[in-house]
Amino acid sequence: MGTTGDTDVAAMARRALAEVGAVFDEFDPAGADALCEEVIGAGRIALHGVGREGLMMRALTMRLMHLGFDAHVVGEMTTPPVGPGDLLLVSAGPGSFSTVLALMGVARDAGARTVVVTAQPDGGAAREADAVIHLPAQTMASDSGPDTSLLPMGSLYEAAQLVLFDLVSIMLRDRTHQAPEVMRGRHTNLE
């Protein structure tokens, strides 16, 4: 069971899950605490990422909405402006993207705080951010060599993001004293 042709899917899954687990063996839990504090301390929260990182940021936006935070995806036509007391939370796994840097500049000029989640804490986005959450996972910028992840391109980083963001959601739920049923009550009924 779990094999397709000469591929053992179950063995591949165990290896992929072990790789994600290894990221969290290296992750400083203070980063999760810092992310919680940034979210709790913010008025509006705008989130952005490119490509698959952007999908993980959308997933976090949804969880923040389920928690009752005023959270929005950058680029959606209903996203309000940010200003003093607000937060721009971005992802730049490989260290920097031109769009991320541009949005950080706009948010900073408007008086909002900027936080970057990245695998490269010395990258361009990290140098511009008010706070850096270092997620030490392989990205597309570092996906070659003998220790390359089984997961293609930047997938290890993105998988670790999804796990981190759901763990942070649990931490936020606990810190804001919400029952899971309260979160569930904010889930859309238009599906």
In a domain, 3, yes or no: no
Catalytic residues: 158
**pLDDT, position 189:** 86
From residue 158, alpha-carbon distances to 1, 96, 137, 184 in Å are 28, 15, 9, 25
**pLDDT, position 139:** 75
In a domain, 132, yes or no: yes
For residue 7, what is the enclosing H or E element? Answer: strand 7-8
In a domain, 117, yes or no: yes
Query: What Rg, from alpha-carbon coordinates, does the chain have?
Result: 17
Cβ partners under 8 Å of residue 110, min gap 6: 81, 82, 83, 84, 86
In a domain, 105, yes or no: yes
Domain boundaries, position 16: 9-185
In a domain, 1, yes or no: no
In a domain, 165, yes or no: yes
Cβ partners under 8 Å of residue 167, min gap 6: 32
Task: Domain count for the chain, please give it.
Answer: 1
By CB atoms closer than 10 A (0-12, 13-18, 19+), residue 50 is middle
Q: Which of 13-17, 58-62, 118-122, 151-155 has the lowest average pLDDT?
A: 151-155
In a domain, 190, yes or no: no
Task: Please tell me which residue, 174 or 148, carries the higher pLDDT value.
Answer: 174
CATH of the domain at 116: 3.40.50.10490
In a domain, 48, yes or no: yes
**pLDDT, position 143:** 60
Report pLDDT digits (tens) over 114-144. Answer: 999 999 999 999 999 999 999 998 776 666 5
Written as one letter, the residue type at 66 is H
